[in-house]
Amino acid sequence: MTVLDSRALNRTTLARQHLLTRSDTSVPEAVAHLCGLQAQEPQEPFIGLWSRLSDFKPQQLDDALTNRTVVRTHLMRRTVHLVTSDDALAWRARHDTMLRQRVLGTYRRELAGIDLDEVAAAGRTVMADQQPRTMRELVQAVEERWPGPPRRVLGELLVAALIPMAQLPPRGLWQQRAGVRNLPLTTWLRRDIDPLPDGDGDPVGQQLLRRYLAAYGPAASVDLRAWCGLAGLPAAVKAAREELVVFRDERGRELLDLPDAPRPHPDTPAPVRFLPAFDNAILGYHDRSRIIDAPHLGLSVAGHRTVLVDGRVTATWTVRNHQLDISPLRPLTALEQEAVHAEAQDLTTFLDEDIEHIQLDTKTDDHALHVPT
């Protein structure tokens, strides 16, 4: 059985994530290919798409959100994601149990003794007038029947688990600050959520498996579970196994993949890429060693924006006081500094935040390289 080392997995991940070469695909097609983008920080998906798509313009994502081709909703891991409307409707029912379990797991004591189906029915009745509501407004409409739980707990239960909701624009539009207004997915998208099909083999789980491997493979079943939050999809993996190919990583783990998916040569050059907070390429795995070193794993869940150099997380970056600050995690060579600065200049143009300077800490002495844009 072929063993794929960390560099081989790295280049494959970059290729599947459109980070090896920018793609000319459309925004909805890219969101679909990536199986959604994590989006609890509303502006971050714009950076993720800029790093992946040729000539990406923020208006393209704005248009996809306002014309309802792409939607913001709680889905994988009970986290807000940007997903295509088709995927939101096709995948939501398969995630329902997980979403409930995750809210209950977090607030088991506060929600003890509450009938979740009754709460869901009450929330749907309130939302039946098709008027967008904040979480607070929805809670205020039902809290007399359930005065026990804190408002925040009851609100998260309703909007993140019990009622499939869309977060409406202007939330998530480019350079706009807007609170969350919720509307049921079926109302916003004017279509019903797909029911779970009958039969063995978990057909929706099989679709999730194939789509995940297309964007993240080769990967282990535990990686699949870490990405979607579902319990490993064992029936789906069993049903689809005969059509998949199998590799091993250097630790001996079994990695599944689609037979015809791209697997570039490990020596393929990897360009510098600036990633947003909570990027798919990092958070899409249980074992993130293919893209980030063990000492820096905390960056992946702490909301740090990162920089890929030679395909690996090598720096963090922030924008403050009209300056783009880049903090390497290891010393950069002169050529690497040049490549990072070149990509940073393009990023400052894209961000359009009146950034006047790029400051790159060289990590080789006590002073920073300060370069005007």
Residue 42: pLDDT over 60? yes
Residue 368: pLDDT over 50? no
- Identify whether the C-beta of residue 73 lies closer than 8 Å to the C-beta of residue 38: no
Would you tell me how many other CB atoms lie within 10 Å of the CB of residue 155? 22
Question: What percent of the chain clears pLDDT 90, i.e. is strictly above it?
Answer: 94
Average pLDDT across the chain, whole number:
94
Determine if the pTM surpasses 0.85: yes
Residue 293: pLDDT over 90? yes
pLDDT value of position 268: 98
Would you tell me how many other CB atoms lie within 10 Å of the CB of residue 100? 17
Could you report the per-residue pLDDT of 220-279, keeping only the tens digit for each?
999 999 999 998 699 999 999 999 999 999 999 999 999 999 999 999 999 999 999 999
Task: Report d(CA 167, CA 43) in Å as an integer.
Answer: 14
pLDDT band at residue 199 using 50, 70 and 90 as cut-offs: confident
Can you tell me the mean pLDDT for 201-216?
97
Residue 336: pLDDT over 50? yes
What phi and psi, each to the nearest 5 degrees, are found at residue 326?
A: -120, 125
Would you tell me how many other CB atoms lie within 10 Å of the CB of residue 264? 17
What phi and psi, each to the nearest 5 degrees, are found at residue 98?
A: -60, -45
Task: Report d(CA 79, CA 278) in Å as an integer.
Answer: 11
Residue 369: pLDDT over 90? no
pLDDT value of position 149: 93
Residue 32: pLDDT over 90? yes
Could you report the per-residue pLDDT of 70-85, keeping only the tens digit for each?
999 999 999 999 999 9
pLDDT value of position 217: 97
